[in-house]
Amino acid sequence: MVATSELESINSSTFLPWVLLGSAIYSIYLNGYTAFLFRFINEKYWMTIYGTLIAPISKYYLVFGVFIELAVQALFTSTLFFILSFIIYPTSILNLFMVYGVMFLALIAGVGISLVNGTFYLINENLTPLFEYALYILVFLSSYSIPYELYPQFLQFFILANPLFHFINLGRDIWFMNLNLNSLWSFLYILIFSGPCIRK
């Protein structure tokens, strides 16, 4: 599956919303990706993590509890980006709510990964940089600020395998009313990727 040509749709009236939408979804995903790591670091420092580990708490409730907290914060953060985007390039209210839905899926996927990240931190703190480097790679290959076509050909395959790219790509396609088969592929990819993140 080849991404839709982004260069053809970027012009003086769409460039800033294009960047703002990518930045909003990336920022929300980042908040989820680091959520449990920061919490586990604090709990390990204050020696309260052991009580959390022995408590009969489902991973399902942990993920959704943190998700709800971050979702409230995300509403305030993303709304500013969306207001600016709406002023420059208006879209329908339905599309706006659909982009919010994509954003929340990105958040819950990030939170699910963060639970794994935080768990590895508890096992071995030396593994934490691996997740940090992985995040740098995900962001670099997400096309959140650089159009897909401008990447070297050998990197484009890895971009299409990057879930963050599909969150951002789908959000932009919805906002700019550019839905097509690539948008459907991004949607299916997101569902496949997000599903394991919300399971117990």
Residue 145 lies in a domain: yes
Residue 4 has pLDDT above 60, yes or no: no
Question: pLDDT at position 10, please?
Answer: 80
Residue 3 has pLDDT above 70, yes or no: no
The 10s digit of each residue's pLDDT in 7-20 is 667 887 889 999 99
Residue 110 lies in a domain: yes
Residue 185 lies in a domain: yes
Q: Alpha helices of the chain — where are they, by DSSP H?
A: 15-33, 35-45, 49-54, 59-88, 93-123, 128-140, 153-160, 163-175, 181-194
Residue 4 lies in a domain: no
Residue 46 has pLDDT above 60, yes or no: no
Residue 1 lies in a domain: no
In sign, the C-alpha dihedral spanning 107, 27, 145, 6 is positive
Q: Encoding tokens for residue 158?
A: 């890895």
Q: In which domain, by residue range, is 164 found?
A: 17-198
Q: What is the mean pLDDT of residues 21-42?
A: 82
Q: Encoding tokens for residue 160?
A: 């299409």
Residue 176 lies in a domain: yes
- What's the total number of domains in the chain? 1
Question: pLDDT at position 93, please?
Answer: 94
The 10s digit of each residue's pLDDT in 96-120 is 999 999 999 999 888 888 877 777 7
In the DSSP assignment, the letter for residue 56 is -
Could you tell me the pTM of the whole model? 0.83
Residue 6 lies in a domain: no
Question: pLDDT at position 65, please?
Answer: 72
- Residue 1 CA to residue 61 CA, distance in Å, equals 35
Alpha-carbon torsion, ordered 132, 113, 101, 38, to 10 deg: -60
Q: How would residue 75 be classed by pLDDT, with cut points 50, 70 and 90?
A: confident
Question: pLDDT at position 48, please?
Answer: 52
User: Which of 23-37, 106-120, 140-154, 180-194 shows the lowest per-residue confidence on average (mean pLDDT)?
Assistant: 106-120
In the DSSP assignment, the letter for residue 28 is H
Residue 2 lies in a domain: no
Which has more pLDDT, 126 or 6? Answer: 126
- Residue 10 CA to residue 17 CA, distance in Å, equals 10
